[in-house]
């Protein structure tokens, strides 16, 4: 579409919204070839086509355009693994293959902290360590049920990131990873297998966020959020946490599977873990670690234990295993 073409912002926004959230619905009213042509034109429309005097329209356009780009990136990931017939594979094989699609992607810390109002953040190009784990798991859950819809992916992502899967402000996000594991275990997304692997008690009081509230913009000057985090920390402190000590990690290698979620336990006061990633089985059948590395990108450490030991203040690992809903009636996960 050329820049001199007048664009009705309302119609454009509706079309973009439907293409993002309800493409199957839209296709029932619009011929498939026409729909494809329209969707191909959208990326060519720039903000210059929109009446800039209407700030609401501009914001609506920008938000919808961003969502459309995310949807395209999601489809690219799905298409890149479509030749592997992943839906027929075990969940550990799916997790590893999906994780490989992001090797080389940029690491960026605090991506979820950029908003003053809590909303679902999605990225396929930049990750912090937890966002990488969440994204791979959410895509794998799509593949398991053979669902290629972006909307299903975002539903999975929200279910994993928030208490009971519901967004209700900053405090509804699962900020501590031990809390993330516990909440997702309750809803059948993962299983904490640390105890089964011989884990010992992780006697730790959690209070890092409340004690260091100035480090968190949404806590520093917000008493409601602060009190809510205090309450959440008290709940976490009632959990029985386990961990595998650093010098025992290699002993559990035979029991680990690709895609197992590894969080690195720390002896930093008030904090449970400092980093997270996934077990990666190398070509040599070694147990490695694929993660969004603070060094700068998604990469593979060739030996899990060696990597963990070299993490400052690490004491061991906590292991959670993604649950394959196809096997929920099978006791062995």
Distance between CA 64 and CA 18 in Å, rounded?
10
Architecture of 85-327 per CATH?
Orthogonal Bundle (1.10)
Q: Is the pLDDT confidence value at 36 over 80?
A: no
**What is the mean pLDDT of the segment spanning 161-187?**
97
Taking Cα atoms as reference points, which of 105, 11, 108 lies closest to residue 50?
A: 11
**What is the mean pLDDT of the segment spanning 259-288?**
96
Q: Is the pLDDT confidence value at 2 over 50?
A: no
Main-chain phi, psi angles of 152, to 5 degrees = -65, -40
Q: How many other CB atoms are found less than 10 A from the CB of residue 225?
A: 20
Distance between CA 247 and CA 306 in Å, rounded?
10
Main-chain phi, psi angles of 157, to 5 degrees = -60, -45
pLDDT of residue 82: 78
pLDDT of residue 92: 95
pTM value? 0.83
Q: How many other CB atoms are found less than 10 A from the CB of residue 267?
A: 12
Tell me if residue 276 falls in helix, strand or coil.
strand
CA distances from 317 to 89, 277, 308 (A): 27, 11, 8
pLDDT one-digit tens code per residue, 230-250: 999 999 999 999 999 999 999
Q: Is the pLDDT confidence value at 195 over 60?
A: yes
Q: Is the pLDDT confidence value at 175 over 70?
A: yes
Which pLDDT band holds residue 86 (cuts at 50, 70, 90)?
A: confident
pLDDT of residue 58: 45
**Pseudo-torsion of CA 132, 137, 143, 144, nearest 10°?**
170
**What is the mean pLDDT of the segment spanning 94-114?**
95
pLDDT of residue 83: 74
Of the chain, the percentage scoring pLDDT greater than 70 comes to 79
Residue with tokens 């930049």: 126
Domain extents in the chain: 1-84, 85-327
Alpha-carbon 149 to chain mean position: 16
pLDDT of residue 261: 98
Residue with tokens 């997304």: 189
Residue with tokens 């859950």: 141
pLDDT of residue 61: 46
């Amino acid at each position: 579409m050329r820049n001199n073409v007048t664009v009705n912002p309302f119609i454009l926004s509706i079309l973009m919204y439907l293409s993002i959230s309800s493409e199957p619905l839209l296709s029932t009213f619009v011929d498939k070839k026409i729909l494809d042509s329209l969707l191909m034109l959208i990326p060519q429309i720039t903000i210059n086509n929109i009446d800039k005097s209407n700030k609401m329209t501009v914001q609506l356009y920008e938000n919808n355009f961003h969502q459309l780009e995310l949807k395209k990136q999601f489809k690219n990931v799905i298409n890149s693994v479509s030749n592997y017939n992943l839906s027929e594979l075990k969940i550990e094989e799916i997790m590893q293959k999906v994780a490989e699609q992001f090797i080389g992607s940029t690491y960026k810390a605090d991506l979820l902290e950029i908003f003053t109002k809590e909303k679902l953040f999605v990225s396929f190009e930049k990750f912090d360590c937890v966002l990488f784990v969440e994204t791979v798991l959410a895509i794998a859950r799509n593949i398991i049920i053979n669902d290629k819809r972006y909307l299903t992916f975002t539903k999975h992502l929200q279910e994993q990131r928030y208490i009971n899967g519901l967004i209700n402000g900053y405090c509804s996000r699962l900020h501590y990873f031990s809390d993330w594991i516990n909440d997702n275990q309750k809803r059948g997304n993962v299983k904490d297998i640390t105890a089964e692997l011989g884990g010992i008690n992780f006697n730790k009081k959690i209070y890092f966020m409340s004690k260091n509230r100035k480090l968190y913009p949404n806590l520093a000057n917000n008493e409601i959020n602060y009190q809510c985090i205090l309450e959440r920390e008290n709940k976490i402190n009632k959990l029985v946490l386990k961990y595998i000590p650093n010098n025992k990690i290699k002993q559990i290698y035979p029991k680990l599977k690709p895609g197992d979620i590894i969080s690195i336990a720390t002896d930093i006061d008030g904090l449970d873990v400092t980093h997270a990633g996934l077990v990666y089985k190398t070509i040599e059948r070694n147990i490695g670690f694929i993660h969004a590395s603070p060094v700068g990108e998604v990469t593979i450490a060739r030996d899990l234990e060696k990597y963990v030991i070299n993490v400052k203040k690490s004491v061991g690992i906590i292991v959670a295993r993604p649950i394959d809903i196809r096997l929920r009636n099978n006791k062995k996960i």
